[in-house]
Structure 1
Amino acid sequence: MTSPLWQPGPQQQHCRLARFQQQARELSGQPLADYQALHTWSVQQPDAFWRQVWDFCGVVGEPGDTVMEGAEQFRDTRWFPNGRLNYAENLLRRQDDHPALVSVLEDGTRTQISYAQLRVAAGQVAAQLKAAGIQPGDRVAGFMPNRIETVIAALGAAWIGAVWSSCSPDFGVSAVLDRFGQIEPRVLVACDGYHYNGKWIDLQTRIDALHQALKPDLLVVVPGQGDSSRVEKALIWQTWLDNATPAPAFARLPFNHPLFILYSSGTTGQPKCIVHGAGGTLLQQTKELQLHGDVGDQDTLFYFTTCGWMMWNWLICGLHTGATLVLYDGNPAYPNTARLFDLVDAEGISHFGTSAKFVQAVEKSGLQPRHSHDLNTLRTLFSTGSPLLHESYDFLYQQVKPDLLVSSISGGTDIISCFALGNPLLPVYRGELQCLGLGMDVAVFDDNGEPLVDSKGELVCRQPFPSCPVSFWNDPDGSRFHKAYFARFDRPGQKQVWAHGDYAQLVPHEHHQGLIIHGRSDAVLNPGGVRIGTAEIYRQVETLDDIREAIVVGQEFEGDVRVVLFVVPADGVTLTDALQTRIRQAIRQGASPRHVPAVIASVPEIPRTVSGKIVELAVREVIHGRPVTNRNALANPQALEHFSNRSELQS
């Protein structure tokens, strides 16, 4: 067993999770001596656990007298069936002058709003939406950057029970229509432009096209650069708010009343519209933030995200903790990779969230934040989006902050939360997510549905959880929903099991289980019948300074599957035979001979979704001459052309 990189100190013994564990001991009458015991209790006694989460985390509303009904099957489970709450009321429960939101734009513009001001502004939006005839369940869509106005609009919609859905403004018109066109919003909240990479990106043409296609009853434009009235039929944001009548009462609605609609990547067809309920989203996310993240009302929480990624929804739930949220819009590496670390010092950020790719980019840039920045307020670093490389753990502890709690988290859009994440009471081990989430009965199955420990297999959840989606939009019989999550281990007469699509491995420790994510299971390579996670190859390749990034796929070849690796060399670097040899040696030594690619080829760029994830499945289809059905889901669809008709793949 390797030594931990971080151990909890005396101060962690008074964290929120420790207090919750002590309360659980008193309520249950069980010793619950360590985290493993607490986790076991949380999944074996879900009624007691989730009711305690409601009370401990300060959820505002009426829980009712029943926590769950119909737990025999995931789809039949009803959480808090008699409960009623309002998401906005919960996020706005703090009403003083403490800073709620700080917005920092790439050009340096900084705006701050208090909890009291945020409540007033969200109430104005709620009043105007209600005056426009918006009813509970109607959709309000945002084509917005990560700014204060976006949070205000989302809270105003939730205030009256409307459903919020957002896309980042870097989405093209077709990609937006693939999403909003399905849900038919009554209102579109949009911006007329944003800054990125030192440039102003004008959106007037896109907004006009969206307005024409969606024909919403109301178009609200948040002023950007210049006069927003230049957008046809637009209402000006501040004028709209100033003309509002008094705020209506919060609409307390059933626990699972729809709150958000999020979208799958859409690279294999039209994006799935995933409907999430207000109660499940709030309860799950506030549990993660308060217990696993130890975020409190004197903390400052930041996550670099766009409004097209579920981490934006996760971030804004930080308001329920009473913390100050820092919103950043722009290129996180402009003018250099120090930009977000500058933000940590300037805003006193205690909890910093980013992606594994950003950590790698900082390391490759040569920046050593430990020496260039103060970082004295920084306690926790969250990372998600892809597996955090083992070497990235080393970099964070050696070159960022040695006493930092590195909290690698994993879940997704499908559950708007996490299956595995951090823990202030447990050690951090290199390459591992610290623990399984409380209340989440996570396991790893083999192909026959048998549980595995310390072996690779399919990540599953064996029991229902509150943030399971309410439904897919336009899926009346639930068949698409069932196929997405439950068909993988559908066994006659057995309970439904959620299959998440991750290739993972549970790691046993004395007091808990850690987790390693080896990549998406639908992208797993299978040379010679041996399953290989793509993350195991990326880990070796992306440590090489001569390689900027890479993508690996399996090619059907001569009755088998062979590993094909495409790399984007660093600036000024050419993929020579010598470099290919170094790549193969690194993979052979760091992984195994089976991981070594049969083919290595150079490409100028790698295709990504509009939310920034590489698309292994799309590349796999292209190299086999099969169509990619929805190129609109890609931020750079032209990149796929680099993978077709490659001579290297013919022999």
Structure 2
Amino acid sequence: MDTPLWRPSDERVAASNLTAFREAANARFGLRLADYDALWDWSVARKEDFWRFLWDWAGITGEPGSDVLRDGDRMPGAQWFPDARLNYAENLLAGAADEALVFWGEDKVKRRWSKAELTTEVSRLQQALKAAGVGVGDRVAAYMPNMPETLAAMLATASLGATWSSCSPDFGVQGVVDRFGQIEPKVLFFPDAYWYNGKAHDVRGKAAEVLKDLPTVVHAVCVPYVDPDADLSAVPRGIAYRDFLAPHPAAQPAFERVPFNHPLFILYSSGTTGKPKCIVHGAGGTLLQHVKEHRLHCDLKPGDRPFYFTTCGWMMWNWLVTGLASGCTLLLYDGSPFAPDGNILFDYADAERMTLFGTSAKYIQSLEKGGLEPARTHSLASVRALTSTGSPLMPENFDYVYRAIKQDLHLASISGGTDIVSCFVLGNPTAPVWRGEIQTRGLGLAVESFSDDGHPIRGEKGELVCTRPFPSMPIGFWSDPDGRKYRSAYFERFDNIWTHGDFIEQTAHGGWVIYGRSDAVLNPGGVRIGTAEIYRQVEQLPEIMEAICIGQEWDGDVRVVLFVVLREGLTLDKALEDTIRKRIRDNCSPRHVPAKIVQVTDIPRTRSGKITELAVRDAVHGRPIKNTEALANPQALEQFTGRAELASS
């Protein structure tokens, strides 16, 4: 029976921000937009009206200027709000709830800051950064956990019109240098240590090594986390956080209003094929896009308490913290999501009245594999929405969420990326949730699925594209003055159209299914197969904890090779291989069936938790992997090199 897994009540729809926005747009422009689809059509057909109205409706602080869009038929090249002036930090601090944030560092540290405390901290940091010579256009870098001081330092940086960039303290030295070395920061923030799985991991030694290759850093500021009196004598240019702030009294911060496209954040590609690309995002586009997603697609309202399990090395941190601009209290967490007994994030949800629970598909899969059923152990009464990203959320994961976490819940699988610091496809709190489907395209984003010859298609797999400009497109890449690398990354495949690199299909319900990265698509016999289709089948088997699939060049064609991590104590035998192949054949097609199935004990992944199919493919083919520092567990690649099983038919 074709019925949704969840449908919002009439009362919930009527009370939603999305309904209020649609009705306000109708009144403002004399429209009769009856539903979300009509609103989306208007938002892309009349994009200047939509984005300018969003600015007003959301109460963005700043001057929008008279023009909304210049060169609106060019991608890249479109200029949004070319005369606007605003400050990202000013908007976040103006909007913050009275209780600005709560922080848990596993079960070791619990803190909370009021809006007044956050504002004071930002002011003192602003003064300290200014005294260190930081001004408009300078870079400040953070090698930091997701803790309150990280947020305050980012806001202080943005308040000055400077540019912020961060990664998490589990990164290795080379990974940090490959990122921050390209952008030449003036100040570096780092912790003395961080907690993970109940153990303190010292960062000072790594920070000292990093600083050898960051000669532009004038102050390396050590933020206390584990040891407030940590010795910094071995850290070049090291200064304790309290000493950095000591000369600067509490005050109200000042805000440097900058152009709409002024560099706010520098984020990084995964870097598994070379040095990471430095992706530069503008202040106005980031703010406007995040506010739209928070208020309209997630239905966040003043007083709500959103959470996202993320590190400062993933764009979801940038996404989460913008929630201050919508009057929310941020719930920050750092450490293992399973410390100490697997339940801590649900403990957090109940203790702090979490309203939005943000996580990854991998985390949800791990919960199910671990046999956890939070619906039996926790109330979760305050949680209205659960969002999932990082990789495709499989239909069976949808079932698990509604069976084992909560029944009355807006489950929103979302997808976009570092490239746009936001989402292309995501949730609609006024619409049903269908099994295995992302609900909708983002408002103002002309998302389509394109065939190989560049035509929109429905009901079959194609390339995820965006056919019209949008404000959160990157300003460009760092050290790419002529824009060649930027154009090559997104606009080579189809002229004047953003090609994102995901393999996607629009469903009969108007929803979307992502089948993985299009550059990792398998092509046995010339037939395109998304790896997510195979993972969906294989990872349902109780014997299999995780899998990764690649195409191996073989005998003038490509053959499918599947690597599996089994439950502890199990060994891959012919019976299990037969079970795997039968499941894939019965539920996918004969072409999906792997020619080879190989057991491994670990699968390489990026530091944001995504499995790295391209790195595994290079390892299997004996090609050099250019940047193993981008991986959280590079040693895992050794299991994919020189496998005897892959040297024969």
Fold shared, TM-score > 0.5 on shorter chain? yes
Q: 1:528 is paired with a residue of what secondary structure?
A: helix
Aligned to 1:370: 375
Shift of 1:229: 4.0
Please, which moves more after superposition, 496-505 or 637-646? 637-646
- The reply to whether residue 585 of structure 1 matches residue 582 of structure 2 is yes
Q: 2:359 is paired with a residue of what secondary structure?
A: strand
- The reply to whether residue 528 of structure 1 matches residue 525 of structure 2 is yes
Aligned to 2:515: 518
Q: Distance in 2 between matches of 1:94 and 1:126?
A: 19
Aligned to 1:230: 232
Q: Distance in 1 between matches of 2:487 and 2:552?
A: 29
Identify the match of residue 605 of structure 1 among 573, 596, 602.
602
Aligned to 1:404: 409
Please, which moves more after superposition, 22-31 or 552-561? 22-31
Instruction: Note the alpha carbon deviations across 1:107-138, whole angstroms, 9 max, x for none.
Output: 33100001121111111111111122111110
2:107–2:340 CA contact under 8 A, matched in 1: no
Instruction: Note the alpha carbon deviations across 1:405-439, whole angstroms, 9 max, x for none.
Output: 00110000000000010011110000100100000
Q: 1:88 is paired with a residue of what secondary structure?
A: helix
1:337–1:361 CA contact under 8 A, matched in 2: no
Q: Distance in 1 between matches of 2:568 and 2:81?
A: 55
2:141–2:188 CA contact under 8 A, matched in 1: yes
2:122–2:253 CA contact under 8 A, matched in 1: no
Q: 1:228 is paired with a residue of what secondary structure?
A: coil
Instruction: Note the alpha carbon deviations across 1:201-233, whole angstroms, 9 max, x for none.
Output: 011110111222213111111012222343534
Q: Distance in 1 between matches of 2:163 and 2:212?
A: 22
Aligned to 1:73: 74
Aligned 1:435-454 pairs, distance under 5 A: 435-454=440-459
Aligned to 2:42: 41
Aligned to 2:152: 152
Shift of 1:95: 6.3
Aligned to 2:12: 11
Identify the match of residue 569 of structure 1 among 563, 566, 576.
566
CA RMSD in angstroms comes to 1.2
Shift of 1:344: 0.7
2:141–2:185 CA contact under 8 A, matched in 1: yes
One-letter amino acid of the structure 2 residue matched with residue 600 of structure 1: I
1:382–1:406 CA contact under 8 A, matched in 2: yes
Shift of 1:604: 1.2
Q: 2:53 is paired with a residue of what secondary structure?
A: helix
Instruction: Note the alpha carbon deviations across 1:319-339, whole angstroms, 9 max, x for none.
Output: 111111111111001223212
Q: 2:586 is paired with a residue of what secondary structure?
A: helix
Shift of 1:248: 5.0
2:274–2:626 CA contact under 8 A, matched in 1: yes
2:174–2:210 CA contact under 8 A, matched in 1: no
Aligned to 1:85: 86
- The reply to whether residue 614 of structure 1 matches residue 611 of structure 2 is yes
Q: 2:118 is paired with a residue of what secondary structure?
A: helix
One-letter amino acid of the structure 2 residue matched with residue 348 of structure 1: R
1:222–1:228 CA contact under 8 A, matched in 2: no
Please, which moves more after superposition, 455-464 or 328-337? 328-337
Identify the match of residue 397 of structure 2 among 392, 399, 403.
392
Aligned 1:429-468 pairs, distance under 5 A: 429-468=434-473
Aligned to 1:650: 647
Q: Distance in 2 between matches of 1:639 and 1:6?
A: 39
Alignment gaps of 5+ in structure 2: none
1:8–1:427 CA contact under 8 A, matched in 2: yes
Q: 1:76 is paired with a residue of what secondary structure?
A: coil
Q: Distance in 2 between matches of 1:75 and 1:588?
A: 43
Aligned to 1:344: 349
Q: Distance in 2 between matches of 1:53 and 1:594?
A: 47
Aligned to 1:32: 33
Aligned 1:178-197 pairs, distance under 5 A: 178-197=178-197
Q: Distance in 1 between matches of 2:242 and 2:308?
A: 27
Identify the match of residue 293 of structure 1 among 259, 281, 298.
298
Shift of 1:249: 2.1
Q: 1:107 is paired with a residue of what secondary structure?
A: coil
Runs of 4 or more, structure 1, over 6 Å off, are none
Instruction: Note the alpha carbon deviations across 1:525-568, whole angstroms, 9 max, x for none.
Output: 01111100010001111111211111000011111111100001
Aligned to 1:103: 103
2:551–2:558 CA contact under 8 A, matched in 1: yes
2:516–2:530 CA contact under 8 A, matched in 1: yes
Aligned 1:57-68 pairs, distance under 5 A: 57-68=58-69
Give the paired residue count: 642
Aligned 1:129-140 pairs, distance under 5 A: 129-140=129-140
Instruction: Note the alpha carbon deviations across 1:347-366, whole angstroms, 9 max, x for none.
Output: 11010000000001111111
- The reply to whether residue 421 of structure 1 matches residue 415 of structure 2 is no
One-letter amino acid of the structure 2 residue matched with residue 32 of structure 1: L
Identify the match of residue 277 of structure 1 among 268, 275, 282.
282
One-letter amino acid of the structure 2 residue matched with residue 471 of structure 1: G
Q: Distance in 2 between matches of 1:428 and 1:79?
A: 33
Q: Distance in 2 between matches of 1:285 and 1:228?
A: 37
Q: Distance in 1 between matches of 2:29 and 2:225?
A: 54
Shift of 1:57: 1.4
Taking structure 2 as the reference length, what is the TM-score of the superposition?
0.97
Q: Distance in 2 between matches of 1:52 and 1:336?
A: 47
2:414–2:423 CA contact under 8 A, matched in 1: yes
Q: Distance in 2 between matches of 1:253 and 1:502?
A: 33
Instruction: Note the alpha carbon deviations across 1:134-172, whole angstroms, 9 max, x for none.
Output: 111100000000100100000000000110000100000
Q: Distance in 1 between matches of 2:12 and 2:511?
A: 23
- The reply to whether residue 555 of structure 1 matches residue 552 of structure 2 is yes
Please, which moves more after superposition, 103-112 or 228-237? 228-237
One-letter amino acid of the structure 1 residue matched with residue 82 of structure 2: P
Aligned 1:109-128 pairs, distance under 5 A: 109-128=109-128
Q: Distance in 1 between matches of 2:430 and 2:609?
A: 32
Please, which moves more after superposition, 8-17 or 35-44? 8-17
Shift of 1:247: 4.9
One-letter amino acid of the structure 2 residue matched with residue 484 of structure 1: A
2:291–2:326 CA contact under 8 A, matched in 1: yes
Shift of 1:594: 1.5
Taking structure 1 as the reference length, what is the TM-score of the superposition?
0.97
Aligned to 2:202: 202
- The reply to whether residue 329 of structure 1 matches residue 326 of structure 2 is no
Shift of 1:584: 1.1
Q: 1:429 is paired with a residue of what secondary structure?
A: coil
2:48–2:69 CA contact under 8 A, matched in 1: yes
Q: 1:571 is paired with a residue of what secondary structure?
A: coil
Shift of 1:647: 1.3
One-letter amino acid of the structure 2 residue matched with residue 302 of structure 1: F
Q: 2:449 is paired with a residue of what secondary structure?
A: strand
Aligned to 1:264: 269
Q: 1:74 is paired with a residue of what secondary structure?
A: coil
Q: Distance in 1 between matches of 2:164 and 2:42?
A: 35
Q: Distance in 2 between matches of 1:247 and 1:260?
A: 23
